[in-house]
Amino acid sequence: MTQQTEPARRKPLNRDRVLRAAVALADRAGIEALSMRSLAHELDVVPMALYKHVANKEQLLDGMVDVIVGEIDPPAGDADWKSAIRRRILSARRALLRHPWASRVIESRTSPTPGVLDYLNSIIGMFRAGGLSADLTHHAMHALGSRVWGFTQELFPASPGPAPADADPQALAALLGEMATRYPHIIEIVLARPHDGESVVGQGCDDQFEFEFALDLLLDGFERLHRQGWTSAERF
Amino acid sequence: MTQQTEPARRKPLNRDRVLRAAVALADRAGIEALSMRSLAHELDVVPMALYKHVANKEQLLDGMVDVIVGEIDPPAGDADWKSAIRRRILSARRALLRHPWASRVIESRTSPTPGVLDYLNSIIGMFRAGGLSADLTHHAMHALGSRVWGFTQELFPASPGPAPADADPQALAALLGEMATRYPHIIEIVLARPHDGESVVGQGCDDQFEFEFALDLLLDGFERLHRQGWTSAERF
DNA sequence: ACCTGAACACCGTTCAAGT
DNA sequence: ACCTGAACACCGTTCAAGT
């Protein structure tokens, strides 16, 4: 406890400060700008100093995931399991959206951290508390996949066109015309957005709507199977 | 046509040969072993020679994705849209499973290649031919997400334990005991596999079953909404 | 005993020198 | 005009030398 004999050059580094700085750096400069060297520079230490607190870069990324998972709200006291799980997953989604790099880092992890296991254990417990069998819950978790984290792989990351920032409206219209002849079905459904039908190009989809659409479709499906007393012994 | 004046030191390099060699190298040595340098070494050329055929490494990876997408079977002549789409997606899954690195590379692409657009256009066309509205098809494609490629992000990549290759059975049992007290719900559903209930640790799940479970749940959901005349103007 | 600068073994890509 | 070796600006991590 009386350890202030050390000359206080810098704030003493610890694992938590390293992880928080890494999250902040990734938030600000992007995950591709996060390197052991750039993080060390950020913390005003020599790169090797980081290796006192994380074994290697993989463990640094693991720790960053746990920081984000810690931001997910605990379960609220909903009456039914479906809305409780729905609410929790949407909370995870908000946490993920605050850190645009997080979904890609979660995808890249090869073994789960304690924080990840705690979250998954808790979600599974919510299904079981709702009365779903361990069997059905097992398959439900697989079906949700990365959706338990509040994200899914987007097919069209930003825009369907090859040159999204191209400012020339005439070239853009020509491009759309080419696309329409070669990929008529894609163009049709991209434009099939009744709510904001004014713009020529669909300027991206309502990601939140799409996420909830698929989530509700799955949750409703689980509920239906549960009511039917489904087991994996028989295919439905 | 009379161009054999060139002394034939090596087979002439072209884009197709570069892409095929890259796919073969990734299949054999893993995607992390694929670098512009290692690929050049494989083809007995100097690294810079590759830049004649691909602009950079990103474009190389794009080309590799197109090679794999080209392996997906064309649509079979199924009577109903649901089984036609199901069959096609399961064909995509087989192509992906032949190249374990492919799903991660597809995830990492930032803009779609022509081959990718052709495939997506074709799947969308199958929904439309089945009578689904452009609106519902739009949301269906989002809900499928990366599942149109035949893969989904697995929550437990290999095994739930931190030391999968640990041979000591006593230590493994102790680890399982620790896990069971800390993550009781996870352990319960991991063990809830009626078909191969003999093994103590569930030795991984039946990925094919899980994939088809979720795929069918989604396709059945789309069919139900279609029959109800659902539109995104109203929430279901 | 502890800390850390230099070094190692890589990357993708640029560029100028050589033929 | 074409090809390519060396170089540049990075990585994550090791390791031995210095205090």
Residue A195: pLDDT over 70: no
- Is residue B26 a part of any domain in this protein? no
Within a 10 A sphere around the Cβ of B101, how many other Cβ atoms? 20
Taking the CA of residue A3 and the C1' sugar atom of nucleotide D14, their distance in angstroms comes to: 31
Q: What is the pLDDT of residue B153?
A: 81
How many structural domains does chain A have?
A: 1
Mean pLDDT value across chain B: 87
Q: Does B179 map to a domain?
A: yes
**Residue from the list B125, B162, B182 with its beta carbon closest to the beta carbon of A185:** B125
Tell whether A41 is covered by a domain.
no
Separation of alpha carbons A97 and A108, rounded Å: 17
Token pair of B25 as six digits: 């190298």
Answer yes or no: do B155 and A142 touch at CB < 8 A: yes
Structure tokens at B85: 């789409």
Please give the residue that has the higher pLDDT: either B100 or A11.
Answer: B100
CB atoms B121 and A209 under 8 Å: no
Check residue A232 and give its pLDDT: 87
Q: What is the CATH number of the domain that holds A130?
A: 1.10.357
Amino acid (1-letter code) at residue B84: A
Residue B129: what pLDDT? 97
pLDDT band, very low/low/confident/very high, at B5 (cuts 50, 70, 90) = very low
Domain contains A199:
yes
Mean pLDDT of all residues in A169-174: 83
- The pLDDT value recorded for residue B171 is 81
Q: What is the pLDDT of residue B175?
A: 83
Dihedral, CA of residue B5, residue B9, residue B10 and residue B12, to nearest 10: -20
pLDDT of residue A160: 44
- Map tokens 């004999």 to a residue: A5
Question: pLDDT digit string (tens) for A58-107?
Answer: 999 999 999 999 999 999 888 899 999 999 999 999 999 999 999 999 99
Considering the domain boundaries, does residue A216 fall inside one?
no
Higher per-residue pLDDT: B31 or A233: B31
To the nearest whole Å, the CA of A193 is away from the closest chain B CA by: 7
Does residue B53 reach within 7 angstroms of strand C, measured from its CB?
A: no
Residues A202-231 have a mean pLDDT of 91
> pLDDT averaged over chain A?
87
Query: Can you tell me the distance from the alpha carbon of B60 to that of B67, in angstroms, rounded to the nearest whole number?
Result: 11
Provide the whole-model pTM: 0.88
pLDDT band at A191 (very low <50, low <70, confident <90, very high): confident
Taking the C-alpha atoms of B152, B156, B157 and B163 in order, what is their torsion angle to the nearest 10 degrees?
180
pLDDT band at B200 (very low <50, low <70, confident <90, very high): very low
Task: Look at phi and psi of residue A156 and say left if phi exceeds 0, alpha if psi is from -120 to 50, else beta.
Answer: beta
In the predicted structure, residue A56 carries a pLDDT above the cut 90 = yes
pLDDT of residue A5: 36
Contacts of A122 in chain B (CB under 8 A): 185
At residue B32, does pLDDT exceed 90? yes
From chain B, the residues in CB contact with A192 under 8 A are 133-135, 137-138
CA A230 from chain centre, in angstroms, equals: 30
**So what's the pLDDT on residue A169?**
80
The boundaries of the domain holding residue B119 are 55-205
Q: How confident is the model at residue B56 (pLDDT cuts 50, 70, 90)?
A: very high
CA distances from B103 to A147, B64, B76, B93, B228 (A): 17, 11, 24, 10, 35
Contact B188 A232 (CB under 8 A): no
Is A160 within the bounds of a domain? yes
The pLDDT of residue A162 is: 45
* Position B189 in a domain: yes
- Number of Cβ within a 10 Å radius of residue B139: 24
Contact B205 A155 (CB under 8 A): no
> B20 in a domain, yes or no?
no
In chain B, what percentage of residues exceed pLDDT 90? 69
Average pLDDT over residues B49-71: 95
Q: For residue A21, what pLDDT is reported? A: 95
The pLDDT value given to residue A185? 96
Residue that wins the pLDDT comparison between A38 and A236: A38
pLDDT at A197 exceeding the cut of 70 = no
CA of B24 to C1' of D5 (A): 28
Query: How many other C-beta atoms lie within 10 A of the C-beta of residue B160?
Result: 22
- Yes or no, beta carbons of B205 and A138 under 8 Å apart: yes
**How far is the alpha carbon of A155 from chain B, nearest alpha carbon, in Å?**
6
Q: What letter does residue B22 receive in the DSSP assignment?
A: H
pLDDT tens digits, one per residue of B140-163: 999 999 999 999 987 765 544 444
